[in-house]
A and B are shown apart, each in its own frame.
Chain A
Amino acid sequence: MKQIFAIIWMNLRAVPQRAGSSLVIVIGIAGVVAVLVALLAMAQGFGATLKATGKADRVMFLSAGVTAELSSVLVPDIVPVLRELPGIVRDADGRPLASAEVVVITELRRGNGAQRADVNVSLRGVEPAGLKLRPEVRLVEGRWFTPGLREITVGQSAARQFEGVKLGATLKFRGSEWTVVGTFVSDGDAHESELWTDADTARSAFGRGSSASSLVAQMASATAIDTIKAAVKADPRLQVDAMPELEYFASQSKQFTEQIGLLTGVVAAIMAIGALFGALNSMYSAVSTRQVEIATLRAIGFGGLPVVLSVLAEAMLLALAGGVLGGLIAYVLFNNMSVSTLGSNFTQVAFNFAVTPALMEKGLSWALAIGLLGGLPPALKAARQPVVEALRAK
């Protein structure tokens, strides 16, 4: 053991003398890890925002077969029937704790200069119960909209991301003017990217008659979903899908997360191959520089194992340095960076990049894997080279 440590330590102390080729490894791997962690942080942040939206003990009804609220239409006849389904909680006055909501697309401006663009933003019409059954939704500025007036209370992310969305401002949608009267937060979930108003006001302003996009209701418990699903199935009038609210929003992020995952994998793999060849090249040259040294150690009687391990230790240490550097770059540049993208409702969802410890760990494991693969062949070459031949090299 002590000979192994002695040789490893001796080799590592010589690394500064090979600073140039060592830097190739560090920088190559830092690039891979930075890109990998940044892309994963994006997927993570988007997923976290959508997954944080909704609760397991709230049920969401959409018209049968649709995957997004925007394409769902619940006809007026069935909404009262849905409200009365068993398993749905009632408030102190005995009314079902359920909100039939309307979601429409509005256009807002975002960004400056070349990145300036009109983007789609969800405007949600909610019933009074909609605020009651979402305790996570809290007013932070101004007041709530007044039913019957063209007033909106806006999510905090929407206020930050989109132009002109501030308290007292007037926004124009489809020819009508709306006043921003307040700002709300919602635990950083997807609702914070929305503009909220009264359901009836939204229906009349956007010509939706009496239909709703969705119905959200509080269940007695998460398990009541089975009772509700059974009741929906038993009633042929109800051409709707019932699902836990949490499940709906999780499914919204799935496709995006999968696509980002694929993109991340491809980009990181291509960069990793480049970094791997850089590492191989640098380690082969390091081994060749040390050829006589290694041969001398072996002549003195040191075995092949300490030699292999010393080369590997060097490669892994440089890779680790690259990994840490890359992780830090990703963290400094991207953590909590706020962006928004098109969610599957064709509307913008604002989210923050989340550089989590788990992602850092993933980046570091990639770095170490590159170090290992890049160090092993040169290490084996160093150990296998005949001593007599290597001693002759000068």
Chain B
Amino acid sequence: MSKAIVEIKQVSKTYTRGKQKVEVLTALDLEVAKGDFLALMGPSGSGKTTLLNLIGGLDQPTAGQVLVDGQRIDNLGSSALAAWRARHVGFVFQFYNLMPMLTAQKNVELPLLLTNLSGAERAQRARIALTVVGLADRASHKPNELSGGQAQRVAIARALVADPTLLVCDEPTGDLDRRTADEILGLLQTLNREHGKTIIMVTHDPKAAEYATHQVHMDKGAVAIGEVP
């Protein structure tokens, strides 16, 4: 196994709902190697999305350490964490989460607004990212003029465009039919194999998980079966 890019050390996460405390993750350990395509599987409530949010720096653990590329992110403040996300993580959501009033091109350019790139450079990078996902000809379309599969491709282009350390995908095919889902998963697989992108994907779907290089099955806040090749 090559160098771990994500290290989860004794991570616990507890939510407080009213007076009740719900422990979602319990002293969890996990490593993801650079260049992996990891599928996080498990029933609802197993803690897989919570784990994904911790890795993506959207949430912070109650205890334990989260390291990405050697840097601890569990102790960063919220603005430092936002800046960290901008540099290191590309997100792909189940419902694409594109900005409805922006064209595909402008949606893809969004993360680049947080860099020092000029307008022309941003436009060029966004065009490249759209080409990679096969949607160069849809650059001027708005999200409501795109099919679900196309919208998810735009979202993947947006996640890629700033060349992040990690791609974090939460049920990326959950809203798509089988054929479109296979296309999207094929695209993720290509990004992993040919562009060396490290991808962590939460999914319910065993067929989707087959595209990954590794699978981790979670249950009740812990790893049930890990590292299925």
Binding site for B on A (CB under 8 A): 2-3, 6, 10, 13-14, 17, 292-293, 296-304, 386-388, 391, 394
Alpha-carbon separation in the docked complex, A142 to B36 (Å) = 103
Measured between beta carbons, the chain B residues less than 8 angstroms from A13 are 101
CB of B62, distance to nearest CB on chain A (Å)? 14
The verdict on B228 contacting chain A, using a C-beta distance below 8 Å, is no
Within 8 A of A (CB), among B56-115: 56, 58-59, 78-79, 82-87, 91, 93, 95, 97, 99-102, 110-111, 113-114
Contact mask B146-177 → A, CB, 8 Å, 1/0? 00000000000010000000000000000000
Measured between beta carbons, the chain A residues less than 8 angstroms from B192 are none
Question: Which B residue's beta carbon lies closest to that of A5?
Answer: B113
Contact partner, B95, options A10, A298, A394, Cβ 8 Å: A394
Contact partner, A300, options B78, B91, B101, Cβ 8 Å: B91
Alpha-carbon separation in the docked complex, A6 to B109 (Å) = 11
Measured between beta carbons, the chain A residues less than 8 angstroms from B93 are 296, 391
Question: Which A residue's beta carbon lies closest to that of B113?
Answer: A3
- Contact: A293 with B58, CB < 8 Å? no
Most buried by A among B78, B83, B84: B78
Q: A301-B85, A302-B82, A303-B79 are in contact. Are A10 and B111 (CB under 8 A)?
A: no
Binding site for A on B (CB under 8 A): 53, 56, 58-59, 78-79, 82-87, 91, 93, 95, 97, 99-102, 110-111, 113-114, 158
Measured between beta carbons, the chain B residues less than 8 angstroms from A301 are 82-87, 111, 114
Measured between beta carbons, the chain A residues less than 8 angstroms from B111 are 300-301
What DSSP secondary structure best describes chain A's contact surface?
Answer: helix
Measured between beta carbons, the chain A residues less than 8 angstroms from B84 are 301
Question: Which B residue's beta carbon lies closest to that of A301?
Answer: B86
Alpha-carbon separation in the docked complex, A14 to B99 (Å) = 10
Alpha-carbon separation in the docked complex, A371 to B101 (Å) = 24
Contact partner, B58, options A2, A303, A387, Cβ 8 Å: A387
Contact partner, A299, options B58, B78, B79, B113, Cβ 8 Å: B58
A-B contact pairs, 7 of them (CB 8 A): A10-B101, A293-B99, A300-B111, A301-B84, A302-B113, A304-B78, A388-B58
- Contact: B91 with A299, CB < 8 Å? yes
